Amino acid sequence: MKNTAIIVAGGSGSRMGADLPKQFLRIEGKPVFLYSIDAFLQAYNDMRIILVMPSTYADLAQSILEEFGYPSSIEIVVGGETRFHSVKNGLGMVSEDSLIFIHDAVRCLASPALIRRCGDAAAKAGSAIPVIPVRDSIRKKDEASSCSVVVPRDGLYIVQTPQVFVGGVILKAFELPYDAGFTDEASVLDASGQHVNLVEGEEGNTKITFPDDLAFAAWKLSLRKES
């Protein structure tokens, strides 16, 4: 199967309080989304990259790719109104005989080893999403009564990306009409009646949302350089 990564960078980054969306913020002079591309290019030497960007930032993304000398084969697709629509635009560029990796551009700490682990599992089972166990105590609040109860955390997991699928599996699922409950690609697969296969994620595979997350990512990347 052909390896194709759809790297989704559609967020506005409003919670970062920055002038640019968070995918364009820089760590040691390099935009965040480029670190995500690096991980996929390192994981597989035949990886096709499709970058999904907001229409207003597509030209900026292209100029950055050229500035940093990335392959001209990287394709930029304009995103949609929601993540579902953005991913669907990316999926419109792939075929059923592809192994499709769908990744948040701002999860710039995902390792090549994690990407390969997810790819190997999906090639066998049809799908693979990385997860880590919930370690904190969880409570659920009843808005009507203002009371809360403990939610047992056994069997609860935090979902990460890349979420990987055999092309025919995820393309079929995305034929469904949009639903507000689609929070990620695995939730679309669930709605289509297909099984979602879980694999071990990485504790450090965090999503950059707030300024402190950017500082953490810079620190982690510096440690990798030293090792």
Give residue-wise pLDDT tens across range 23-47: 999 999 999 999 999 999 999 999 9
DSSP 69: T
**2-131+159-226 adopts what CATH topology?**
Spore Coat Polysaccharide Biosynthesis Protein SpsA; Chain A (3.90.550)
Model confidence pLDDT, tens digit, residues 144-169: 888 999 999 999 999 999 999 999 99
At 97 the three-state DSSP class reads coil
Q: Is 2:74 a contact under the CB 8 Å cutoff?
A: no
Q: Provide the pLDDT for residue 37.
A: 98
CA 49 to chain centre: 13
pLDDT in tens, 64-90: 999 999 999 999 999 999 999 999 999
What's the pLDDT at 13?
52
- Residue 197: count other Cβ atoms within 10 Å of its Cβ: 18
Domain boundaries, the chain: 2-131+159-226
The two tokens of residue 52 are 């999904």
Contacts of 179 (CB under 8 A, 6+ apart): 191
Cα separation, 183 vs 83, whole angstroms: 8
